[in-house]
């Protein structure tokens, strides 16, 4: 920040305003004759005291995107991911797991439900973003690369087995997220039932 910018920021700060207010009090003492010949020191001292006693400026926190914006971006990334996965020829078993996984993720990101449920669960939102933006693309890309190299070195671990293990773990994680969100909604419904049952009648 340039010196002129810092000066302008200080002129409008709470410290300067408090010091100026206290300094005006010193000028009032000067006009009444109470400050005597030492009025410059009195005014400067009161200004400094006011500036020191003023509360510090509060630094505004950074503005992060709200959950609704994050969900919109995540849905667009998921659309790009499914298009990318469709272009890669997967073995039949892995392709079936991929369909099950993308169907689960698509349901979790359904705007009719996720707009309410996911913002209350930042951990679930983070886990979905990690799966869509890192884990799944890495699994598909690593499989495609390993499949090409396996032709040059037969006998190594089959890339298909690693891909199937990875998709199985990701599907388990996605279903766990769905189960956790369902459990919370079920708990809310049960709580409302108890509230209605316990509420005194007319």
pLDDT digits (tens, 9 = 90+) for 78-106: 999 999 988 888 899 999 999 999 999 99
Residue 11: pLDDT over 60: no
Q: What is the pLDDT of residue 187?
A: 87
Output the CA angle 133-107-72, nearest 5 degrees. 50
- What is the spatial distance between Cα 8 and Cα 25, in angstroms, rounded to a whole number? 23
Radius of gyration, CA atoms only, the chain:
32
Residue 51: pLDDT over 70: no
Decide: residue 53, CB within 10 A, 0-12 exposed, 13-18 middle, 19+ buried.
exposed
Q: What is the pLDDT of residue 28?
A: 64
End-to-end CA distance of the chain: 67
Which pTM was predicted?
Answer: 0.64
Query: Which one-letter DSSP state was computed for residue 58?
Result: P
- What is the spatial distance between Cα 53 and Cα 10, in angstroms, rounded to a whole number? 15
Residue 73: pLDDT over 60: yes
Q: What is the pLDDT of residue 32?
A: 66
């Amino acid at each position: 920040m340039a010196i002129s910018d810092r000066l302008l920021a200080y002129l409008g700060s709470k410290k300067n305003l408090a010091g100026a207010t206290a300094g005006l009090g010193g000028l009032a003492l000067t006009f009444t004759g109470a400050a005597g010949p030492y009025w410059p020191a009195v005014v400067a001292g009161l200004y400094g005291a006011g500036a020191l006693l003023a509360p510090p400026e509060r630094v505004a926190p950074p503005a992060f995107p709200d959950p609704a914006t994050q969900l919109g971006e995540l849905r667009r990334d998921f659309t790009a991911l499914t298009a990318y996965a469709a272009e890669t020829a997967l073995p039949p078993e892995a392709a079936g797991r991929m369909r099950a996984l993308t169907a689960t993720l698509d349901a979790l990101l359904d705007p009719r439900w996720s707009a309410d449920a996911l913002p209350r669960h930042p951990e679930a939102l983070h886990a979905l973003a990690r799966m869509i933006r890192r884990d799944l693309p890495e699994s598909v890309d690593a499989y495609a690369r390993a499949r090409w190299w396996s032709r040059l070195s037969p006998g190594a671990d089959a890339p298909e087995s690693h891909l199937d293990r990875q998709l199985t773990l990701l599907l388990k994680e996605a279903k766990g997220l769905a189960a956790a969100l369902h459990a919370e909604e079920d708990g809310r419904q049960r709580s409302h039932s108890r509230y209605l049952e316990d509420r005194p009648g007319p």
